[in-house]
Amino acid sequence: GAGVSQSPSNKVTEKGKDVELRCDPISGHTALYWYRQSLGQGLEFLIYFQGNSAPDKSGLPSDRFSAERTGGSVSTLTIQRTQQEDSAVYLCASSRGQRETQYFGPGTRLLVL
Amino acid sequence: AQSVSQHNHHVILSEAASLELGCNYSYGGTVNLFWYVQYPGQHLQLLLKYFSGDPLVKGIKGFEAEFIKSKFSFNLRKPSVQWSDTAEYFCAVEAGTYKYIFGTGTRLKVLA
């Protein structure tokens, strides 16, 4: 079947604008993860969904970041009032469950000017 | 705070050389350990994982890793690298119910 898909693949925005990033997990995968990869950094864990619930949102960098998941499938990561330091690659992964192998999407490359 | 250290940021090897990439983590409890690989132009994918049992884990493409609990290490090895192993390698630790901590990655370049 299809893998994890993310859209858009690239996004250029102006400082202060809101952006919405989308993740379509593999069908049937109950767990979904968002990560951020900044230049020269490892993957920074942002948030995890089990079904539609996010048990811990403390990984989100600030209150400008929010995420939701609906129908146990698609997830959106929203960044409000973007700042230049938000520029990064945002990766989504899904798995059959907790501690199962994560399958990563291609990422969304965000550039905030 | 939990962390994962990958000491080698860039490694350059000739084909047929042996490879060992270091990974150390800081967490005193039970951990699950992973190595992921990202080939040029491709998505991150799982190379191997350790949950319990034999501390020597074998993965795809001839890679293996050894969990040494006393050293908090999970080093990745391959006896003889190929040009196609050129990629970025990430060590990761799952130290809670869901939270994964990744290292900063090691870029491996294999010269043909």
> Which residues make beta-bridge pairs with B92?
B34, B102
Q: What is the pLDDT of residues A61-76, one digit of tens each?
A: 999 999 999 988 999 9
Shortest CA gap A19–chain B (Å): 23
Question: Per the structure block, which two tokens stand in for B41?
Answer: 């132009």
> What is the spatial distance between Cα A70 and Cα A58, in angstroms, rounded to a whole number?
20
Question: Per the structure block, which two tokens stand in for A97?
Answer: 């469950």
Average pLDDT value for chain B: 92
Q: Is the pLDDT of residue B100 over 60?
A: yes
Shortest CA gap B15–chain A (Å): 26
- Asked whether the beta carbons of residue A33 and residue B100 sit closer than 8 angstroms, the reply is yes
Q: What is the pLDDT of residues A20-65, one digit of tens each?
A: 999 999 999 999 999 999 877 778 999 999 989 988 788 899 999 9
Which residues of chain B lie closer than 8 angstroms to A51, CB-CB? none
pLDDT band at B97 (very low <50, low <70, confident <90, very high): low
Q: Is the pLDDT of residue B3 over 90?
A: no
**Whole-number pLDDT of residue A1:** 54
Which residues of chain B lie closer than 8 angstroms to A41, CB-CB? 104
Burial class (CB in 10 A: 0-12, 13-18, 19+), B100: buried
Q: Is the pLDDT of residue B60 over 80?
A: yes
